[in-house]
Amino acid sequence: MHPLTKLYARKMFRQKLIYVFFICFFTASFFYAFLIQAPQIEDMLNIDVRIVGRKNFPEFMMRFYVGTVGILFNAFLMTLFICEEDRNKLLYQPLLHGESRNQMILSKICVALSMSMAFILLTAFINYATAFMRWGKEIFDAAAVIRILEKYLLSGVYMSVITLGIIALCVCTRNPWKTIFFMILYILIDAFICNSDLSLVQKIWIGYYPDLWLFSYEYQGIPLSEALGGILVIALYGVVFFQISLHRIKKMNF
């Protein structure tokens, strides 16, 4: 591993926000697991506990990470990782020690994407752990586990590309609040597009596919064609975000 990537990974692991967030997520998951069959919760969330509990619980809980919460968490983390470092004059320090701008942003991206995927897997682990505490071994239905893990991995791909987008935003705006503002704007536009009848726009919209996977195919397997089509569109966004980051970093005045 490149020393700069190692340095950034080490820096990332020291972010207290990550630990606070996942402790909160574990607590929420734990309480959901134990309260989900209470009649009040059933009415409040408009859910059928016979479906969302047991083997489907980890899939049900996925929606609380893949979407607004996860996106905002990643946005806060990336602003600390890039904008705050930039503001504190730390971002360019490796350039004074012989590193290139490309290497610097590649190391940042490498750490951020690995973390994005790791966070999704950690979310899966937390949800399975709380489900196991509540229902025991009956959650491990082979077909359901495979189906749910597939969805977690697909969501991981989506969240990684969203993280790439946040990095591109950070590099372009160089301001944490502007970045967060644009991400909130994205979430609003995403909600509008996903709930609209604009089928053509939906087909080319990055946020449409996770919505499709999580809600339209809820507790069902995703057809291969839908999964591949979604991955292709999301990957195209990824390439664009990546190129924007590379292009902007070259022109940045530190």
Partner 1 sequence: MEKIITVQNLRKTYKRETAVENVCFELLPGNIMGLLGTNGAGKTTTLKMITNLCPRDKGEIIIDGASLDSNPKLALSKIGASLDTPAFYPELTAKENMECFANLHQNIPHRQVAELLNYVGLSAQAEKKVKKFSLGMKQRLALARAMLGKPKLIILDEPANGLDPQGQIDLYRLISDMANNQNTAFIVSSHQLHDMEKFCTDILILDKGKSILQGKTQQILSEPTNIVDCVLEDTEHAARLLSRLHGIHLTSQNGNHFTVILEYICLDEFIRKLMENNLYIGHLSVRKHSLQDLFLKLTGGETSCIH
Best CA proximity match to 133, nearest among 57, 224, 230, 51: 57
At its nearest, how many Å lie between partner 1 and the CB of residue 25?
A: 24
The span from the CA of 60 to the CA of 89, in Å, is 42
Residue 94 contacts partner 1 per CB under 8 A: yes
Task: Identify which of residues 10 and 50 has a Cβ nearer to partner 1 in the complex.
Answer: 10
Residue 1 contacts partner 1 per CB under 8 A: no
Q: Which region, judged by CB under 8 A, interacts with partner 1, from 23-31, 90-98, 163-171, 184-192?
A: 90-98
C-beta of residue 159 within 8 angstroms of C-beta of residue 116: yes
Query: Of the candidates 24, 95, 188, 232, which one interacts with partner 1 according to CB under 8 A?
Result: 95
Residue 36 contacts partner 1 per CB under 8 A: no
Best CA proximity match to 236, nearest among 188, 201, 212, 204: 204
Best CA proximity match to 101, nearest among 190, 4, 180: 4
Q: How many residues bind partner 1 (CB under 8 A)?
A: 22
Residue 176 contacts partner 1 per CB under 8 A: no
Residue 84 contacts partner 1 per CB under 8 A: no
Q: Which region, judged by CB under 8 A, interacts with partner 1, from 37-45, 55-63, 93-101, 143-151?
A: 93-101
Residue 100 contacts partner 1 per CB under 8 A: yes
User: Which positions lie near partner 1, rule CB under 8 A?
Assistant: 3-4, 6-7, 11, 14, 88-90, 92-100, 250-251, 253-254
